[in-house]
């Protein structure tokens, strides 16, 4: 059984059973479970493992996993454990703990092979034989310059190392075009770089060029999945932390605030209707038909928004460079509005036996789908430029616009041509 | 300049400039560009490269890239090119072309190292030195049994190979727990396996156990990004193929059908209102307030839906195992409905000076948020079990339910207690 499958089974256990786990597993098994478990299970488990066993487990774990585990502990225990570690390990882990969880520094590991440029291929192979089993990547050897700064100046592919003469120096076979990131870079940006250049690992380098660690592709996949989860959750107006097993109380805490924000926008739309109550009282058919206009605006706005959110996720979008696309989008709103408006207009004219009502809904639909395009395009752009997550907040503003303005346009037109409608 | 950056610059070129590109680049540069370009650019470029140059480029490309390029060509030229290839290459590519684009077989490559179990470590290292530069992965060597079937029986980590005695046989140091997939498996499922087990590559194996190819992690990242793009696009009611540079005509073609489907559901909601036109004629305040109830139902439904879609994306969800979560979700609807309903009720009672209207909106909000929870939970589950994409179609059904039933509950209650409201 793979440790990942074992960890999956843990999901079905009660908390008390998890608490007892450390008594049933040996240190090696426990290490594998800790490496694969989610944050919550890790935290539970580590509370029931004594300091000595934990330190023994850390020997076989990569530094980034140790940092994650320590990061979730209470400060008191973390300090105690750090003090019991070897000086070298303590220093590395202390440094790693400084970086935010979601930065390149926070997800990097220090288990890589770096060698000075004046080493020979034979020496490099000896080193790989020796420390290879403890590193996360052996396909790439990082080459540093000769002074103490460990400045990263190139990489050597293990393929080239294996096929080069034994006495060649690393700087003769290295590739000096290294793609790297600085430790402060956001993990989402790191993921974009890795997937763009098809890398197996990316080195993290200080502003002065010294190699600090590497980020491996399996951690990058975790980042991509995490961001994906977050986008879907945010588009739906909830939190990525929520799942089927979240408690009722927690779910209320995560979802209610969002619903209350939406309530404000719902009231705004309601006021737009209230202004025209006299008109509705005279032509009651308006109340049944107005929701078609607002609803279709909401749908069209979502379409434009989803295109923009994907564009923003894959790169920078500047209004100055894409105003043509904005013009196209508004034109598209007019075309789709005319098409759906024509269908609706004819249907409404027949159902209510009132051709003028049909014409008004046709015009309102065109107007509201143009509004939807304008807001669907601009709102995500503006939110991104304000460093807010467009996936989280766009829908609120776009729906407010399509609902409020949708009612306003339709009922406004109806009021203007009231004598024809009655 | 990295080829990926060069390809990015191509986006700004006109089609005519792209057509001229083959004249300006040498074969090696052209190969790099073809490997990184998107499907459309690839197709354009290949039309302007003659057969001989293309075949020369294929020598340096991995089989999965060649298959992708051939797959997009007109049948006539594809056959001509295949006939000019070496018999061995032709056979491999012919087989790869059989698999659907989005299956394990469709994204696998045949550039891997497989060796018989009775080979020694020294022989294995010689092979790696020799063919390593032409393979996509060298960190893992695939071990097959001794008969002609090439049945995959284990893997050897290059680390172990480097540190083992030269005369040891591969079957003495191999790991016989191999995680593999069959060629028909959907690429999304492959991505789930790779990210779960943190693999660098996964072997594709026939139903009889023979190794057919491997899928590398960079292709897996592409799959994950592609599926992500599709989810966001589908949630917004559009296609993943759409971007800022899509033409107006194409955008209409992709978005209008979705809007027309939504129009049907909008009419359904409109009919629910039409039934109660007499009631609205008597209490016109209902028309301004009813959209609050339906709108909040839509928002709450999206929240439940987004939790379900994420759960479905990461694994199977069976109703028999999660009915407790459904009960919780409906209860959550009642709690959030009561909270938002109380705020709305008080506000409406004050604004319209009618406490009974406040009570009715309070009750309708609880009812509609429970409906939202029920549909938000069940619709994605049912769609998934019908093999439809929940991200694409859920919102239609959920909005139909929350709009139609939302109006029905609110206006129904209002009709029942009409004397109190007037």
The Cβ of residue A190 has, within 10 Å, a number of other Cβ atoms equal to 24
- Min Cα distance A154 → chain B (Å) is 15
Q: Which residue of A has its CA nearest to B243?
A: A307
pTM metric for this prediction: 0.85
Q: Identify the pLDDT of residue A20.
A: 81
Give the B window 32-61 contacts with A, CB below 8 Å.
Answer: none
What is the ipTM for the molecules in this complex?
0.85
Distance in angstroms between the alpha carbons of the first and the last residue of chain B: 75
- Min Cα distance B52 → chain A (Å) is 28
Using a pLDDT cut of 90, give the percent of chain A over it: 65
Residues of chain B contacting A251 with CB distance shorter than 8 Å: 328, 332
Interface touch A263/B292, C-beta < 8 Å: yes
Are the CB atoms for A100 and A68 separated by under 8 Å?
A: no
> In this predicted model, what pLDDT tens digit does every residue of B220-231 receive, in sequence order?
999 999 988 899
Residues of chain A contacting B344 with CB distance shorter than 8 Å: 263, 267
> In this predicted model, what pLDDT tens digit does every residue of A68-91 receive, in sequence order?
899 888 889 999 999 999 998 899
Counting Cα atoms < 13 Å in the Cβ hemisphere of B322 gives 19
Q: Is some CB atom of chain A closer than 8 A to the CB atom of B261?
A: no
Interface touch B325/A245, C-beta < 8 Å: yes
The pLDDT of A39-60, averaged and rounded, is 87
Are the CB atoms for B272 and B410 separated by under 8 Å?
A: no
Q: Identify the pLDDT of residue B25.
A: 85
- Min Cα distance B163 → chain A (Å) is 5
- Min Cα distance B270 → chain A (Å) is 5
Residues of chain B contacting A236 with CB distance shorter than 8 Å: 235, 302-303, 305-307, 309
Residues of chain B contacting A344 with CB distance shorter than 8 Å: 263, 267
User: How far is Cα of residue A236 from the mean position of the Cα atoms in its chain?
Assistant: 14
Closest CA to B341 of B374, B363, B368: B363
Give CB contacts under 8 A, 24+ apart, made by B57-62. Answer: B57/B27, B57/B30, B57/B31, B58/B85, B58/B89, B60/B28, B60/B31, B61/B31, B61/B34, B61/B35, B62/B109, B62/B111, B62/B136
> In this predicted model, what pLDDT tens digit does every residue of B137-163 receive, in sequence order?
888 999 999 877 789 999 999 999 998
- Min Cα distance B94 → chain A (Å) is 26
> In this predicted model, what pLDDT tens digit does every residue of A297-345 receive, in sequence order?
999 999 999 999 998 887 778 888 888 999 999 999 999 999 999 999 9
Q: Which residue of B has its CA nearest to A340?
A: B260
Residues of chain A contacting B334 with CB distance shorter than 8 Å: none
Interface touch B235/A233, C-beta < 8 Å: no
Residues of chain A contacting B300 with CB distance shorter than 8 Å: 255, 259
pLDDT less than 50: residues of chain B = none
Q: What are phi and psi of B106, to 5 degrees?
A: -75, -25
Q: Is some CB atom of chain B closer than 8 A to the CB atom of A414?
A: no
The pLDDT of A181-189, averaged and rounded, is 94
Q: Identify the pLDDT of residue A267.
A: 95
Interface touch B236/A179, C-beta < 8 Å: no
- CA gap A187, B38 in Å, rounded: 25
Whether A219 has a pLDDT exceeding 80, the answer reads: yes
Q: Is some CB atom of chain B closer than 8 A to the CB atom of A417?
A: no
Q: Is some CB atom of chain A closer than 8 A to the CB atom of B128?
A: yes
Using a pLDDT cut of 70, give the percent of chain B over it: 100
Are the CB atoms for B142 and B203 separated by under 8 Å?
A: yes
Q: Is some CB atom of chain B closer than 8 A to the CB atom of A299?
A: yes
Q: Which residue of A has its CA nearest to B299?
A: A259
Residues of chain A contacting B273 with CB distance shorter than 8 Å: 287-288, 291
- Min Cα distance B101 → chain A (Å) is 20
- CA gap A249, A234 in Å, rounded: 19
Whether A142 has a pLDDT exceeding 80, the answer reads: yes
Residues of chain A contacting B236 with CB distance shorter than 8 Å: 235, 302-303, 305-307, 309
- CA gap B78, B75 in Å, rounded: 5
């Amino acid at each position: 059984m793979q440790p990942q499958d074992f960890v999956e089974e843990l999901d079905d256990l009660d908390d008390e059973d998890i608490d007892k786990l450390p008594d049933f597993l040996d240190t090696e098994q426990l290490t594998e479970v800790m490496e694969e478990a989610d944050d919550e299970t890790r935290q539970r488990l580590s509370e029931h493992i004594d300091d000595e066993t934990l330190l023994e487990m850390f020997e076989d774990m990569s530094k980034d996993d140790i940092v994650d585990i320590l990061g979730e502990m209470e400060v008191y225990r973390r300090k105690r454990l750090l003090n019991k570690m070897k000086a070298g390990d303590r220093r590395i882990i202390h440094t790693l703990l400084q970086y935010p969880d979601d930065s390149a520094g926070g997800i990097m590991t220090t288990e890589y092979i770096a060698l000075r440029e004046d080493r020979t291929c034979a020496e490099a192979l000896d080193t790989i034989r020796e420390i290879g089993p403890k590193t996360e990547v052996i396909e790439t050897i990082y080459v540093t310059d000769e002074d103490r700064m460990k400045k990263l100046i190139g990489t050597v592919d293990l393929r080239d190392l294996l096929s080069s003469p034994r006495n060649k120096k690393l700087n003769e076979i290295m590739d000096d075009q290294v793609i790297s990131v600085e430790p402060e870079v956001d993990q989402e940006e790191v993921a974009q770089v890795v997937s763009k250049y098809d890398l197996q690992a990316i080195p993290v380098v200080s502003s002065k060029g010294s190699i600090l660690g590497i980020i491996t592709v399996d951690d990058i996949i975790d980042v991509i999945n995490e961001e994906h989860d977050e986008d879907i959750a945010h588009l739906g107006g909830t939190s990525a932390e929520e799942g089927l097993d979240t408690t009722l109380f927690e779910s209320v805490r995560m979802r209610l605030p969002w619903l209350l924000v939406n309530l404000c926008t719902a009231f705004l739309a309601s006021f737009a209707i209230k202004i025209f109550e006299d008109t509705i009282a005279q032509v009651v058919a308006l109340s049944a038909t107005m929701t078609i206009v607002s609803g279709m605006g909401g749908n069209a706005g979502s379409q434009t928004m989803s295109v923009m959110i994907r564009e923003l996720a894959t790169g920078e979008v500047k209004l100055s460079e894409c105003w043509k696309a904005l013009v196209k989008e508004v034109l598209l709103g007019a075309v789709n509005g005319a098409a759906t408006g024509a269908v609706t207009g004819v249907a409404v004219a027949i159902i209510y036996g009132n051709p003028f009502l049909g014409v008004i809904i046709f015009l309102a639909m065109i107007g509201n789908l143009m509004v939807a395009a304008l807001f669907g395009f601009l709102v995500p752009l503006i939110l991104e430029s304000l460093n807010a997550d467009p996936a989280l907040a766009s829908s609120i503003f776009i729906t407010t616009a399509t609902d409020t303005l949708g009612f306003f346009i339709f009922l406004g037109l109806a009021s203007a041509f009231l004598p024809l409608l009655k």
